[in-house]
Structure 1
């Protein structure tokens, strides 16, 4: 029998329909979460729980106070590379006709027996950014542990978990906890930074390395234990995590004392002057400029310094 025509209204097939439905559903879910959190805070048990665990986990006594200048620089470079890595990664994922190709010159310190493979200019840019991001991360981790700053982003007591639950309830109820990031991040921040630095970042590196040409092709046992399909399934969700983290991070920075937070992150001081904002604005200008300059016209001359560039 011939299939009956669809009875759905024509407007449900409009391109704006699904985004609107998703937006409305998200607003409804957020409203329910807020109302539920407010109700929980009105109960005696949850009220006493928040009083007992206001939001800041216990830190070791010798934890340093404040954020040094090297951490500001590392934060800027991390922000710079993450934005461009996401941009170039999306280009690699969705571009069907690359506007250029790159092949490594098999000379110098890095030599291989086989002929280097040709890759798209977008993939070259993505991998180059990855290398710089990893280098910045290594310097960050070395300085983090050599200066004691790790104690601010690595949980050192189990009370971080009840404090984190308390902070989540306070955020959800729109009655946010008192912030003093110069001395002690709240427990939810601490866990988020720990997951990002010590779990999400290494997973991004390991999955990206598995999909890159640097991974040994003639290693059957290793490739069977860690198949490339598994890396591909994980790599994109990890990128989504980083995007979500950045969005939430920027939102909270700007809504929980913007000037003071920006001074912490960009000017290495605990004041409320406009210096941190000025550095932040300059950083945004640099990133936006790099976003628009990351085009084949400007990438080809740089890529040609490291290999041969062709149009096909």
Structure 2
């Protein structure tokens, strides 16, 4: 009897280990070997891509690299001058390809019906092949939820959640009618790992995970591919990190990898309609999910301690700057 039980336990353990080995192998193939779906599947050259939060960082790179691949670009952001400069840069850089651009100045924190009406009027009749839901907002610094300014809380939800939903609801019907399209929505490790002191931002990104996965199942029969793109830190104004490293790519390299790995899950093994495409982020995601877990007290405690430290440094910096201003 004891021998039988030992054999059963050994068999179960062996199957568990084999499953992890297979998962790791799939992650490595996805991150380093296999190429993604060609963007041509979603629209011919000369069709349109829409990028929100397009004036800086990751959004700007999406716009430039999609134009390089032959898509006309609709640029949406809140700063008119930056949009005009980027549109001119794209048209000059790809003049030989006759790339067209359209711009829409829009502050997503305001959630104005008239802005969304303008967007609908702008894109109606366009063959939109790609939508990049990139616009996003985080906290100015890590802050306990009970101390979060009301306006900051409202702005994060208006930008990350409501803005993404409303833009997608304008664009997705045309894609479904044409039977093709790609919707990329920027996720975050903040949505993967509950993040104390960034509770509202973390919750907004977790919402996008659930919404995007559900939307993927709804739109798949209509030929529209939905993908939530999870990232760790990228050098940007939002992250306040300027120097790239192995774990923190610059926007150019991150976007290049993302567009090359469409349809590949990377480190997000087993999560439908989700990808963690950048190699170091993908390995981190796989390891966290496999060995640590993302919702337990260990991960939560480490995340809390890290953001408490960041908050202390930010408050000290504020104090120094206030003294200098006197």
TM-score range with shorter-chain normalisation? under 0.3
Using structure 2 for the length normalisation, give the TM-score.
Answer: 0.27
Larger Rg: 1
Using structure 1 for the length normalisation, give the TM-score.
Answer: 0.27
Higher helix share: 1
